[in-house]
Amino acid sequence: MEISVARKEEHERQKGEIRNLLLQSDEDDSTPKLELIDLIQRLGVGYYFEKEIGKTLRCIHDTDSTKNNDLRAVALRFRLLREEGLHVPCDVFSKFVDEEGNFKESIKNDVEGILSLYEASNYAVDGEEILEKALEFCSSHLGSLITNINNSLLTRVKDALNIPIRKTLNRLGARKFISVYEEDDSHNQKLLNFAKLDFNLVQKIHQKELSHLTRWWKELDFANKLPFARDRLVECYFWIVGVHFEPHYGIARKLLTKVIYMGSVLDDIYDVYGTLDELTIYTTILRRWDISAIDQLPPYMRIHFKALFDVYVEMEDEMGKLGKSYAVEYGKAEMIRMAEMYFKEAEWSFKGYKPSMEEYTKVALLSSGYVMLSVNSLAVINDPISKEEFDWVLSEPPLLMASSIITRLMDDLAGYGGEEKLSAVHYYMLEYGVSKEEAFAELRKQVKNAWKDLNKQRLEPREASVPILTCVDNFTRVIVVMYSDGNAYDNSKTKTKDMIKSVLVDPFMLSS
C-alpha cells in the first residue's frame, strides 16, 4: 500500500518539531539532551539531524562537566561522544572502581547503568584496561540478571549481549528498538510516530528498488544458466541496505547490489566450478578487461563476464552524470584484484599447496571481498571522493586493514567445519600445532583487537573523511550480523529470512 500525501506532509511537520527539540537551549544538565540524541539515533532517524546532533555533542564535549556520578549518564555521554569521534578519557569510569580495581558493589543492582556501561565499553581502543574490565564485568553480570528483569529491559539486554549498538546495522537496530521503545510507558509519542512513519517511508523506497533489481535478475536468468552458483539477490540487496540505507543513496544501492551479486557468482566460479585451465584464461581476460576476447571463454564464463562488463558500463554512465567517471576505474580494478586472489586460492586448492598463515592472510584479506566492496561503494555514492582519497584507501591504511581482518576472520570462524576449503582456523592449527579451541581463541582475540583499531580510527584527528569512515564501518557491521552465529549468507533459510522480512517486508502499524 502506498503512503498517502497526508502522511508525507505529517512526516515533514514532525521532522521540524524534532529539530526544534534538538535546537532548544541547553540546560545545566546535559543528560536530557544526550538522552534525546540517543533516542533519535536508535530509532533510526538520526540521519536527518546530523548537523544539529554534531553541533550539540561538540558543545557538550567542550563545556560540560564530567562530575556526574550517575553511571548510566556517564556511560551514555562517553558512548555518544566517541561515536561522534570526540576524545573522552576512559578514566571517567574510575569513580565506579574500588581500590582493588574492581567495579564497586554499589552499582551491581543498577541494571540500566551496567547496560549503558556495556554499550560504552564497546568503543574501547588499545590500552584502555578499565574498559576491558568493564566489558567483562558487564557481560557476565547482565547475563546473570536476565531472569530477574522485566520484559522491555530484558529485550534490550538480550539484544545488546547479542550485538551491541557499536556493531548494529541502522535499519535492523531501528526496527527492534522502535518496538522496544513503544513498550516504554514514558515514550515520547511524537518521536515514536515519526520513527514508525519514517521507517515505513524508507522501506517503501527499498521495496521499489528491489522490485527493479528483481527484473534485472530475472533477465540474467543465472539460476538456470549458472545453476552451480549461489542465487542470493535479495540477500545481496539487504547487505547493501545495511551499508547505505538513506533514501538519497538509491543509485549506489542499485549498482552495489549488482556488484556484490556478480562478485558472489565470481567466487563460486573460482571456488566450486571452474577448472584450473578455465580459471587461468578467465583471470587473464579479466586483467585485460577485454570483451572482444569473450569467445575464448567457456559458455558459462561468457555469460558471467558479459553481465559483469555490463554492470560497469552502467556504472560509468551513472557516475558520468555525477562527475565521478574516474572513480569507476578504481572499483573495476578492485574487482579484478579480487579475482586474482580467487585464482591464487584456486591454485593452492588444485595443487594441494598449504600456505603459511602469513601467506594465507595476505591473499585472504583481499579475497574476502570487503576491500573490493568498500572501493566500489566509494565509487558509486553521491558524496565526492577524490582520487587522492581512493589512493589512500588502496594504500592499506589501518582503517581498512582493521575492517578486513574482522570480516575475513569472522567469515572463517563462522564457516569452519561447514566448508571443505581451508581457512584461517586450519592454517593456524597447522602452523602452530594447536587445537581447534586454541585457534578459535586466538583468532577471536585478533578480531577483538581489530575492533579496537577500528574504534581508534573514528577519533579525531582522523585520516578518513566521514563518508569513507561510515562506509567501512557499516560494511564491518554487516559481517557481524551475517556471521555472528553462523554463515547467514550461505545458509539464507536461517535468521536471514527473518531479518529481511523485518527490514524490507513488514511495515509498522501507524495510528490513525
Domains of the chain, by residue range, sit at 10-193, 221-486+495-503
Global pTM reads 0.94
Per-residue pLDDT at 26 exceeds 90: no
- Residue 247 pLDDT class (50, 70, 90 cuts): very high
Q: Which three cell numbers stand for residue 78?
A: 562517553
Give the DSSP H or E segment for 87.
none
**DSSP state string for 130-190:** HHHHHHHHHHHHHHHHGGGS-HHHHHHHHHHHHS-GGG--HHHHHHHHHHHHHT-TT--HH
CB count, 10 Å around CB of 96?
Answer: 21
Beta bridge partners of 103: 97
DSSP class of 484: B
Which pLDDT score, from 0 to 100, does residue 7 have? 86
Q: CB within 8 A of 504, min separation 6: which ones?
A: 203, 206, 207, 210, 234, 237, 238, 241
Q: Is the model's pLDDT at 488 over the cut of 80?
A: no
Pull the grid cell for residue 69.
556520578
Q: How deeply is 495 buried, as exposed, middle or buried, from its count of CB atoms within 10 A (0-12, 13-18, 19+)? A: middle
Indicate the burial class of 308 (C-beta count within 10 angstroms; 0-12, 13-18, 19 or more): buried
- Three-state DSSP at 217 gives helix
User: In the predicted model, is pLDDT for residue 158 greater than 80?
Assistant: yes
How far apart (Å, rounded) are the C-alpha atoms in residues 124 and 127? Answer: 8
Is pLDDT above 70 for 378? yes
pLDDT of 486 > 90? The answer is no
Residue 293 has pLDDT above 80, yes or no: yes
Residue 486: left (phi > 0), alpha (psi -120 to 50), or beta? left
Q: Is 491 helix (H, G, I), strand (E, B) or coil?
A: coil
Residues in the chain: 512
Percent of the chain with pLDDT over 70: 96
C-alpha cell recorded at residue 407 = 570480516
What pLDDT does residue 11 have?
Answer: 92
Preceding omega of 461 cis (within 30 degrees of 0): yes
For residue 429, what pLDDT is reported? 95
Residue 366 pLDDT grade (very low, low, confident, very high; cuts 50, 70, 90): very high
Binned at pLDDT 50, 70 and 90, residue 511 comes out as confident
**Which fold, 221-486+495-503?**
Farnesyl Diphosphate Synthase (1.10.600)
Mean pLDDT of 325-329: 97
Q: What is the distance between the alpha carbons of residues 437 and 281, in angstroms, rounded to a whole number?
A: 40
Q: Any idea which architecture 10-193 has in CATH? A: Alpha/alpha barrel (1.50)
Please say if the pLDDT value at position 64 is more than 80: no
